Amino acid sequence: MKRLGILTGGGDAPGLNAVIRAAVKTAISVYGCEVFGIKNGYDGFLDEDGIMPLGMKEVRGILPRGGTILGSANRGNPYARKVIRDGQEVTIDVSDEIIKGINKLKLEALLVLGGDGTLHIAHELWQKGVPVIGVPKTIDNDIGGTEITFGFDTALNIATEALDRLHTTAESHHRAMVLELMGRDAGFIALQAGLSGGADVILIPEIPFKFESVMSKIRERAEKGSKFSILAVSEGAKPIGGAQSFSRKGDEIYVPRLGGIGQVVAEYIEKQGFESRVTVLGHLQRGGTPTSFDRSLATRYGAAAVRLAGRGGFDRMVALRCGTITDIPLEEATAIPKRVKLGDDAVITARNVGISFGDE
């Protein structure tokens, strides 16, 4: 293996640069490879200046940096690209052009750092002969087959710190403080941050809630003398029999954007006579420097992905299982998204320590 490409697709996550750095260093020093960075996800193969050489100089100092030096795109599905033709928007398949770009670069392996969408595309490109290797990225931690994705730990730490900060102001003002957290249809961030930040209520997409159960918890606390409460609410949480909240509807260009359930919950609490405020943590969960855990995990993933490419293990994704890096078929990783299970020990533990999921 002498020519390796790397791309980063989908929403960014802390640790992308650490993966790139480790992959470049391993590829150069162990395999004597020439490495190319593809800019802005798969789009880089279509753009004139979409490719950049990646040498030791380019990756110097990027280990602690958030974001991605390659740029990313979360609307770059090559199988369904929106373009304007004769004044009309049409969806076209540009996967063959992408394959041409890969062949032109004579890539012998392409590392794809992405979430479910980006990895699914990678698997489809493999079926057209592209030698892809996946690296699981997302703050949501919702990729199957791996215990953890890089980026999740950083988001979790930011969310936990936010809960700690909300605690002190909640206590001073005797308020119910709602923190809306990311995660799409998976509740891992809210669940784990809620546990480590001492939330009183955790609402996640996997456990639809009853408004009245949320209120019972707040009332019960007030009766026992705690006149404040902390609620960690996943953006994808929804009431039993109700729907998820969206801040923007989907259209031809954008996928639907989750958001607003925190406000809905806070308004309900206020109507019941308890003062409440909502904080939407948003993209703060994705920005900035990765934690030490994410730096180390991302570095291990980056080096392991290059070793996997060196062995010709294409159409596979590096994964963490029982604390060890291994690899699994991309198809397995993308087949079923990972979700919080009701029997997970974290859920049981949360209930044991008196946290309400609003379902009882």
Among 5, 78, 183, 262, binds ligand F6P (CB under 6 A): 183
Closest CA to 141 of 294, 283, 32, 330: 294
Smallest distance from ligand F6P to CB 120, Å: 14
Strands 176-181 and 276-280: parallel
Q: What is the nearest approach in angstroms of ligand F6P to the Cβ of residue 139? A: 5
Residue 8 sits in the site that holds ligand F6P (CB under 6 A)? no
Q: Tell me if 307 contacts ligand F6P by CB under 6 A.
A: no
Our finding on whether 74 is near ligand F6P (CB under 6 A) is yes
Pick the binder of ligand F6P from 286, 295, 307, 316 (CB under 6 A). 286
Residue 278 makes CB contacts below 8 A (sequence gap 6+) with 177, 178, 179, 180, 262, 263, 265, 266
Instruction: Identify which of 212, 274, 261, 258 has the alpha carbon closest to the alpha carbon of residue 232.
Output: 261
Out of 175, 184, 238, 295, the only residue in the binding site for ligand F6P (CB under 6 A) is: 184
238 binds ligand F6P (CB under 6 A): no
Cβ atoms < 10 Å from Cβ of 334: 23
Task: Cite the active site residues.
Answer: 140
The answer to whether 72 contacts ligand F6P (rule: CB under 6 A) is no
Residue 14 has, within 13 A of its CA and on its CB side, a CA count of: 25
Quote the least distance from Cβ 36 to ligand F6P, whole Å.
26
Tell the smallest beta-carbon distance from residue 30 to ligand F6P (Å). Answer: 32
Give the contact letters, 256-285, x = binds to ligand F6P (CB under 6 A), - = no. -xx---------------------------
Q: DSSP for 229-249? A: EEEEEETT--BTT----EEE-
Is 352 strand, coil or helix? helix
Stretch that binds ligand F6P, among 138-146, 162-170, 315-323, 334-342 (CB under 6 A): 138-146
Q: How far apart are CA 274 and CA 176, in angstroms?
A: 7
CB of 111 to ligand F6P, least distance (A): 20
Rounded Cα gap, residues 325 and 321, in angstroms: 6
Binding site for ligand F6P (CB under 6 A): 11, 74, 115, 138-140, 182-184, 235, 257-258, 286
